[in-house]
Structure 1
Amino acid sequence: MKCLICHDEWMPRMSFSMLLTLQQPDVCCSRCRSRFVLIDGNVCDRCGRPTEQNVCADCMMWQRRGSALINNRSLYIYNDWMKEIINRFKFRGDYALIEAFRHEVCTFFYKHFSSDVFLVPIPLSSSRLVERGFNQAEAIASLLSLPMIFALRRIDDEKQSKKTRRERFVGGKFCLTNEDVAGKRIVIIDDIYTTGATVHEAAQLLYDAGAREIYSFTLVRS
């Protein structure tokens, strides 16, 4: 078979346990797979950043602001390899790359979150959605087979990657839709946690709309 990422021919290693559980073989060759770095070891209790501190300086700031987000968990470190993959996935429209993350996303997510939650993917603006052809946060959420609620609408059309750190902390990125979140346990889904401004703003809106508990999960922690 061909590796989903480098397209080289390779033979996935099969094990007896894979045959028993009907687990699908990896869609990536071992060389490409080894370049993804999972977040492991000590992390900030609030944002999931690798650190020796229980709560990092950024999260202390969010706590002082009274953030509605209970915590964030992220799967991968944003190394040069992941930057390349995210660029292909997000900006060059290579949607099939989402399959490279299926197994690890599901395993990690259910380790940290229960199955009685509702997923709220961070939305794109309508113009950005037309440009890319899909919403990367919704693609990640689709791997989990849990109910999605499209409770947010993007009203800021400027790319987050083009903003300075200071500009990212300015609110007004989203507004609420008519979807009901009252009393629900919510996990916000996004691709990258950088400053946290996006998920914290989204969490506050959902909290104001009556959500009971709000967490977030991102594929990558920069």
Structure 2
Amino acid sequence: MRRCLFCDEKMNEILTWRSLLLKVEAKMICENCESRLEKIGGETCQVCSRELEEEFRKGDRCLDCVRWEKDEKWKGSITKNVSIFHYNEYLKDIIAKYKYRGDYALAEAFVPFLREKMKEMDFEIITVIPLSEERLKERGFNQAQAFTDLLGLEAMHLLTRVHTEKQSKKSRKERISLPQVFQVTGTDVIQNKSILILDDIYTTGSTLRQAAKILKIAGAREVSSITLAR
């Protein structure tokens, strides 16, 4: 009998002909824990996946993305970000255990959700947001790379990162005004290619836009992203 990866409670497995024939991927968390994950749904921003509210939208975009697209420096840098869950307090705690306390096994719980969402996305190359050498040494693993490994996808290492203060310690204004922290490695392989970046959280969108912009400057045709939460 399996145990929930989040709460460690025993899980009852119900096998059906449908699950056997379609090889439905087994869930790694119990129904109670899954119910605490808030899926993003309804009408969402066509750029960042934020659920649209009447007072914070313009057409099919949220006001944040409208501001990004008005800025000539960032306009068109990222085609679309797709996020799966709201970054609520419950998910924040789970990601902290995974990301900062090294509970690598928790990544398995998100694999079925990522796999299902990625079926809707078209891309030729997948990559991940890299950590600086200092941050990688501190954490022991790249949380985004772990997802691609568990998904059985070969992520290409297209970017390197300059070490900076943790993003979580910065204000929104500081994140948006950060100087470029990425460099592209091996530009030949990305020429005219559609690239998907995988990361854990979309906060202001500055990190993903920095990565997307430098990939496009280096020759990528378009760059999209997928994140667990926003």
User: What are the Cα deviations for residues 106-128 of structure 1, in whole angstroms up to 9, with x where unaligned?
Assistant: 111112x12x4211200001111
Aligned to 1:97: 106
- 2:218 pairs with 1:209: yes
Aligned to 1:22: 23
Equivalent position to 1:61, from 64, 67, 87: 67
Report matched runs for 1:140-151 at 5 Å: 140-151=147-158
Q: Is the 8 A contact 1:156 1:174 kept in 2?
A: no
Aligned to 2:136: 129
Secondary structure of 1:105's aligned partner? helix
Letter in 2 for 1:200: R
Letter in 1 for 2:158: A
Equivalent position to 1:82, from 85, 91, 113: 91
Q: Is the 8 A contact 2:126 2:196 kept in 1?
A: yes
State how far apart, in whole Å, the 1-side matches of 2:79 and 2:108 are. 29
State how far apart, in whole Å, the 2-side matches of 1:178 and 1:10 are. 46
Aligned to 2:127: 120
Secondary structure of 1:85's aligned partner? helix
State how far apart, in whole Å, the 2-side matches of 1:144 and 1:49 are. 25
Q: Is the 8 A contact 1:43 1:51 kept in 2?
A: yes
Report matched runs for 1:164-179 at 5 Å: 164-169=171-176, 170-179=178-187
Superposition deviation, residue 143 in structure 1: 4.0
**Moved runs in structure 1, 4+ residues, more than 4 A?**
none
User: What are the Cα deviations for residues 167-222 of structure 1, in whole angstroms up to 9, with x where unaligned?
Assistant: 1111222122235311111011111001000000111100000001111111101x
Q: Is the 8 A contact 2:25 2:112 kept in 1?
A: no
Q: Is the 8 A contact 1:192 1:218 kept in 2?
A: yes
Aligned to 1:36: 37
- 2:55 pairs with 1:49: no
Q: Is the 8 A contact 1:156 1:172 kept in 2?
A: no
Secondary structure of 2:93's aligned partner? helix
User: What are the Cα deviations for residues 88-145 of structure 1, in whole angstroms up to 9, with x where unaligned?
Assistant: 110010111111011111111112x12x421120000111111111101112233444
Q: Is the 8 A contact 1:128 1:157 kept in 2?
A: no
Q: Is the 8 A contact 2:159 2:185 kept in 1?
A: yes
State how far apart, in whole Å, the 2-side matches of 1:13 and 1:149 are. 38
What TM-score, normalized by structure 2, do the two folds share?
A: 0.90
State how far apart, in whole Å, the 1-side matches of 2:63 and 2:38 are. 23
Superposition deviation, residue 10 in structure 1: 2.4
Query: Which structure 2 segments of 5+ residues have no match?
Result: none
Give the paired residue count: 219
Query: Which structure 1 segments of 5+ residues have no match?
Result: none
Q: Is the 8 A contact 2:193 2:220 kept in 1?
A: yes
Aligned to 1:161: 168
State how far apart, in whole Å, the 1-side matches of 2:16 and 2:42 are. 28
Superposition deviation, residue 14 in structure 1: 2.5
Sequence identity (%) = 41
Q: RMSD of aligned C-alpha atoms?
A: 1.5
